[in-house]
Structure 1
Amino acid sequence: MPEEIMTLKEVAEYLKLAEKTAYRLAAEGKIPGFKVGGSWRFRKDAIENWIDQQTESRRT
């Protein structure tokens, strides 16, 4: 199964954030992403792992 790559808009929708907030978090390195030709892209599994890590760090 190929990895799903998401756009900034898709990640913002997935995380229920404004696009501007998702952009800022990506630019600050707070969510895992990479740029392709100046546009942000995100691996869905990396975002899901990041969510899991955030959930775990809040519990401890």
Structure 2
Amino acid sequence: MNQPDGEILTLDEVAVYLKAGKKTVYRLAQQGEIPGFKLGGTWRFRRTELDRWIAAQIADKTQDKT
């Protein structure tokens, strides 16, 4: 199945995608550490924004080592 660029993920799906706990993803979203938005009181996340966030996290870690 093809994934559209603007695919929207739920908190549970993001937890699986990041291999993190749901509480961790929720906390990161609440603190504004991870890109997301609320829709009807529940968190939603764009896969493309998560991918950019992941790339930025990796870049930051790489720069810290140099």
TM-score, with length taken from structure 2: 0.87
Residue identity in the other structure for 2:54 = I
Please name the residue that 2:40 is paired with. Answer: 37
> What is the RMSD computed on CA atoms of the aligned residues?
0.9
**Residues 1-60 of structure 1 mapped to structure 2, 5 A cutoff:** 1=4, 3-60=6-63
Give 3-state SS (helix, strand or coil) of 2:32's partner.
coil
**Unpaired stretches in structure 2, ≥5 consecutive residues:** none
* Percent identity of equivalent pairs: 52
Aligned residues: 60
Give 3-state SS (helix, strand or coil) of 2:25's partner.
helix
Runs of 4+ more than 6 Å apart: none
TM-score, with length taken from structure 1: 0.95
